[in-house]
Structure 1
Amino acid sequence: MLHDLSQAEWPRRQGLAMLTAALGAENIRWVGGAVRDSLLGTDVQDVDCATLLTPDKVIDLCRAAGIRTVPTGIEHGTVTAILKDGPVEITTLRRDVTTDGRRATIAFASEWREDAARRDFTINALYADPVTLAISDFFGGLDDLAARRVRFIGDARARIAEDHLRILRYFRFQARFGAELDPQAEEACSELAHTLKGLSRERIAAELLALLALPDPYATLERMRSGGVLGVILPEACPAQLAALGRLIVTEAGQGFAPDPVRRLAALLPPSPDVAETVAARLRLSKAQRGRLVSAAERSATDAEHPQALAYRITPPSAIDRLLLLGADARTIASWTVPVFPLKGGAIVARGVTAGPAVARILQTIEAKWVAEGFPGAARVEELLAEALADQPPAG
C-alpha cells in the first residue's frame, strides 16, 4: 500500500512555498524521486521541479521574488533555485528531438505527458501538484510502485536506445525498489548490454558504485552476470568473486558496518593489486578510491592476526576493508583512535647518537617493537630506547 503524499515533510517546506508563489502553482509540478520515495514512505532529501516556463522566465521570476538561481544545466533547460531549506532543480518540460544512446538533443515541450514520455521508468514519471499534491500518472507508475515493479515507459528497447545508461539504471532501481521482475526489461537489457561499451567510464562507474551501495545488490548483480551485462562493464567479476561479494554483504551486516561500494567493488575483483590498478584506471576512480581498492587487493590471511597493528600501518578504513573481505572481525578497530608514536629522532640524538641513518634505524626498531607490544605507554618506550642504545656499537 502506498503512503499518502500529504503526510510527507518536504511539501510543507517554506522554500517550496516561496518557489510556488514565485512561479505560479499552475506552472510547476514536483516530480521524480521526491514523489516516488514519499509514496513508498522513505525519507526525501532533494526535490525536483518540472515547469511549463522557459529557463529565462524561471530566472526572472525567481529574481523578482528574491530567490537566487544557478544555471546548473541551462543547455538542458535546468536551473537550480537556492532555497533556505535546500536547493531545487527546476527543469522546463522537454521532448527528445534526436538521441544516439549517449546524449540527446532536446526541445522544450508544453504538455506534462510529453515530458513524462521521455523519462525512463514509470515510477519516475509521477508529477505532484504543488498545492493539492494530486498525482498525475500517465503510464501506470502508481500501480508499478505498489507492485514494486520497475518498468520502462513504453518499449524497453526504444528507451534503452535513447540512453544506454538506462540499462544500469534499470538494475539499480530494480535492486532498490523491485520485487516483481519485468521480463521485457530484463530481456532488453541483456540483448542491448553491448551498447554499454559506448558510454563514458565515469557514467558507468557512478552507476556501478551506486548499485553496490545499496543494502543487498547480490541477486541483481547475479542476474546482470547471467544476462551478460556485468561482463561488459566489469569482466573481472566471475562467479567466484560474486560469491565473495555475497559473503562480504553478510559479514558487513553481521558486524554492523554500512554498505561500502568501494569495498564491495574490491570483493568483485581477484585479490591482485595489478587488477585493482587496471580497474581503477578503467573506471577513472578518484585517487582515494584507487588507493583503497589497491590496498584491499593486497590483503592476506595474516592481516586478521593483529587488527590494530594493521590499522596503524595502513589506516583504519583500509584495515576494515581487508578484515571484512577476509571475513574477520573488524569491530575492534571501528572506533579505535590510532596512537601517535611517542618517540622523536631528537630524543635519540640527545642520547649521543649522531643524526643520520643510525637514528632512523633505531626509530624503526623501537616503533616495530612498540606496535608488536600493543602500543604501550611512554615508560615502556623509554625502556625500549635504552635497550636499543645498549645494542649500539661504541662510537669511534
Structure 2
Amino acid sequence: MLARIATREFLARKTFLHLISPSLNALVNQLHTMRLSEDQMAQVLSPEVRQLAQLFSSHGYELRIAGGAVRDLLMGKTPHDLDFATTATPDEMKSMFDAEGVRMINAGGEKHGTVTARLEECNFECTTLRIDVETDGRHAEVEFTKDWQLDANRRDLTINAMFLGLDGTVYDFFDGSKHLSDRFVTFVGDADTRIREDYLRILRYFRFYGRIAESADNHSAKVLESIKANAEGLAKIAGERIWVELQKIITGNYGGELLVKMAECGVGPFVGFPENFDCAGVKAVYRRCQEANIPTSEVHHMTLLASGFASEEEAIRFIARVKCSKRERDLLLHIIQHRDFALQASSFKEVKDHLVDIVIGERRNKDVGLFLTSELLKYVGRVDFLENLKNWEIPRFPVNGNMVGERGVPRKQTKVALRDILEEWKKSDFALGSEELLDRLDVKQYQ
C-alpha cells in the first residue's frame, strides 16, 4: 500500500507541475543527456539491433536500450545482454511483429509487458514502459505508460535507471552517470520506497556495490539505515532468488566485507545465516586467500561462505532456506566437517590420505574427491598442497571384497576389514601390495 501511495503521489505531483510551470516540471525531471561515441555504439549496434530499431521506428514507436547495458558501456565494458524498453504496448508489439513476419517466443512475459522477438537467430526482449501501481515486496501490479521518467522511477538503483537511444543518446533522470563516475551506489529516489517495492533489492544493492565501488566501505549512511529498517522483508523472498544474488556477492569484489556489512545490518537471519554469523571467520578466510594470492573468483562461493558457520546444524538450516544444489550442499558440509584438519595439516601426506578416504573409503567419484579436497585447501590458503595435488595420481587400491572373503572374513564384516586394510595401506604411503596387506589381516577379530 505504501508503494502504491508513493507512486500516486509522484504522478500527481508531476501532473500538477506540468500544469503550473514548465520550469518547475524540469526540476522534477532532472533529465541529463550525453552522446556515446561511434566506437561505443558499435558494441551494441549489430545488424539485428539495427533491424529491430528500424522496425519500431517505422511503426511509430520509440525503442531504447535499458538498464545494465547502458551502465556497462559507460564503464568501458562490452555488454553481454541487451534489454530494450519501448513505448509500444505488448498488443501493439505483437501486432507489429505479426505484420512484419517476426517470430515471437516466451509468451509468458506479456503480462509484465515483455515480448521477445527473434531476428536472425537472436532473441530480443522488448518491454513496455511501466509503472508499479501496487507492490507487496515481491510482486508488482503494473500499468503501462509512455513516459520514460516514470519507468526510470520504478527501477532500483540510479546506475541501472538510464536509457540509451539507438542514436547514441544517453537519457539519465536520476544522476546515474554521475554516480557511476563517482563509483557511488544508491537507490532511485527514496531508498525505503524502492526496497519495500521488492525486498530483494537489498541484496542487489550489495551485489552492485561490489561491482561499482572503489573501496570496501563507502556506503551511504542513509542507504544502510533503510536496509536495517527493512531487512526483515527478505523473509518474504524465495530462497532461490536470494541464493542467486548471494553467490555473486560472495565471490565479487569486497565479498568478505560485504558479508560482514550485511550481518551488521541485520540481513543475515532473513537469508538463512545464523544469528551469530562468524564475521571473524569470514574475514579470516578472505584474508588467507589474499595472502596466498588465490583470487576469490577462483574459489567456490560455498567454500568462502562456510567460514560464517560454526556448525553443520547452522549450515543445514541455511541449505533449507536457499534450496541450493546437492553439489553445493556437499561442499559446504565437507568444509565445515574437515576445516580443522586442513588448518592443522602439516604434510602433503595428510592431504593424500584425505583424498583417498573420499575416493576409496567413501567410494565417491574421483572428480568429486578432487573438487572437495581442492576447495578445502583453498579455504585454508595452502597453495603448496594445491599444486602438489594437481600432480598426484590416486593409486589403485590393491584389495577388494572377494580377496578379503577368501581369507576367511565373514561377508557381513567385509566393509570393516577393508576399512582396516585401507588404514594400513595409507600408513605405508600406498606402497604395500595386496598380498602384504592381506597377510597383515587378523581374520580372528572379524569372526
TM superposition score category, shorter chain reference: 0.7 to 0.9
Indicate if the aligned counterparts of 1:237 and 1:268 stay in contact, CA closer than 8 A: yes
Rounded Cα–Cα distance in structure 2 between residues aligned with 1:171 and 1:255: 19
Distance 1:158 1:66, change over 3 A: closer
CA separation of 1:182/1:319 partners in 2, compared to 1, >3 Å: closer, same or farther? same
Contact 1:345 1:359 survives alignment (8 Å): no
1:307 and 2:351 aligned: yes
Q: Name the CA distance, whole Å, in 1 between partners of 2:442 and 2:157.
A: 76
Compared CA separation, residues 172 and 257, structure 1 to 2 (3 A)? closer
Look up the match of 1:385: 434
Amino acid at match of 2:227: C
Change (3 A) 1:278 1:23: same
Name 1:325's counterpart in structure 2: 379
Superposed CA deviations along residues 252-271 of structure 1, whole A, max 9, x for unmatched, are: 6447861432112111212x
Question: How far apart, in 2, do the equivalents of 1:245 and 1:5 lie?
Answer: 43
Q: Distance in 2 between matches of 1:6 and 1:313?
A: 59
Q: Which amino acid aligns with 1:145?
A: L
**Alignment equivalent of 2:48, drawn from 15, 34, 58:** 15
In structure 2, the CA distance between the partners of 1:212 and 1:99, relative to structure 1 (3 Å rule), is same
Counterpart of 2:331 in structure 1 is: 292
Q: Comparing 26-35 with 175-184, which one deviates more in the overlay?
A: 175-184
Higher helix share: 2
Shift of 1:388: 3.0
Quote the offset at 1:137 in angstroms.
0.9
User: CA 1:302–1:346 in 2, change beyond 3 Å: closer, same or farther?
Assistant: closer
Residues 5, 46 of structure 1: CA spacing in aligned structure 2 closer, same or farther, 3 A cutoff? farther
In 1, Cα distance between equivalents of 2:239 and 2:183: 30
Report the counterpart of residue 85 of structure 2 in structure 1.
Answer: 50
- Answer yes or no: is 1:228 the counterpart of 2:266: yes
Alpha-carbon distance between aligned partners in 1 of 2:374 and 2:269, rounded to the nearest angstrom = 28
Percent identity between matched residues is: 28
Residues 1:112 and 2:148 aligned together = yes
Shift of 1:231: 4.8
Matches within 5 A, 1:1-396: 4=36, 6-8=38-40, 10-24=43-57, 26-62=61-97, 64-82=100-118, 87-130=123-166, 132-179=167-214, 180-233=218-271, 234=273, 235-251=275-291, 253-254=293-294, 258-270=298-310, 272-303=311-342, 304=345, 305=347, 306-314=350-358, 315-329=369-383, 330-332=385-387, 335=390, 339=394, 341=396, 343=398, 345=400, 348=403, 356=411, 364=419, 367-368=422-423, 384-391=433-440
CA distance in 2, matches of 1:362, 1:277: 32
CA distance in 2, matches of 1:205, 1:84: 34
Q: Comparing both chains, which one has the higher relative contact order based on Cα–Cα distances under 8 Å and sequence gaps of 6 or more? A: 2
Give, as a single letter, the amino acid of the residue that structure 2 aligns with 1:212: I
- Structure 2 CA distance, aligned partners of 1:210 and 1:356? 50
How many residues align? The count is 387
2:43–2:78 contact (8 Å) kept in structure 1: no
1:216–1:83 distance in 2 versus 1, CA, 3 Å: farther
How far did residue 322 of structure 1 move? 1.9
- Alpha-carbon distance between aligned partners in 2 of 1:338 and 1:23, rounded to the nearest angstrom: 60
Gap runs ≥5 in structure 1: none
Listed one character per residue, the Cα deviations across residues 67-110 of structure 1 (whole Å, up to 9, x for unaligned) are 44222522212233445675432211111111122211011111
SS in 2 for 1:73: helix
Letter in 2 for 1:307: V
Rounded Cα–Cα distance in structure 2 between residues aligned with 1:388 and 1:221: 50
SS at match of 2:44: helix
CA gap 1:14/1:249 in 2 versus in 1, 3 angstroms: farther
**Aligned residues: CA RMSD:** 3.4
Per-residue CA deviations over 1:22-60 (Å, capped at 9, x if unaligned) read 433853111111110121123421111112222244345
- Asked if structure 2 preserves the Cα contact closer than 8 Å seen for 1:125 and 1:137, the reply is yes
Task: Give the C-alpha shift of residue 11 in structure 1.
Answer: 0.8
**Counterpart Cα distance in 2 of 1:84 and 1:341:** 53
- Partner secondary structure for residue 106 of structure 2: strand
In 2: Cα distance, 1:49 partner to 1:201 partner: 28
Closer, same or farther: CA 350–283 of 1 in aligned 2, 3 Å: closer
Q: 1:362 to 1:239 in 2, by over 3 A?
A: closer
Q: SS state of the match for residue 192, structure 1?
A: helix
Consecutive unaligned residues of structure 2, counting only runs of 5 or more, are 1-33, 359-368
Partners of 1:293 and 1:84 lie apart in 2 by: 43
Q: 1:208 to 1:334 in 2, by over 3 A?
A: farther
Normalised by the size of structure 2, how large is the TM-score?
Answer: 0.75
Name the CA shift for 1:325/1:7 in 2 (closer, same or farther; >3 Å). same
Q: Deviations over 1:164-199 (max 9, x none)?
A: 221221122122212453332222112222322332
Looking at structure 2, the residues matched to 196 and 31 of structure 1 have their Cα atoms a distance apart, in angstroms, of 26
- CA positional deviation for 1:297: 0.8
CA apart distance, 1:389: 3.9
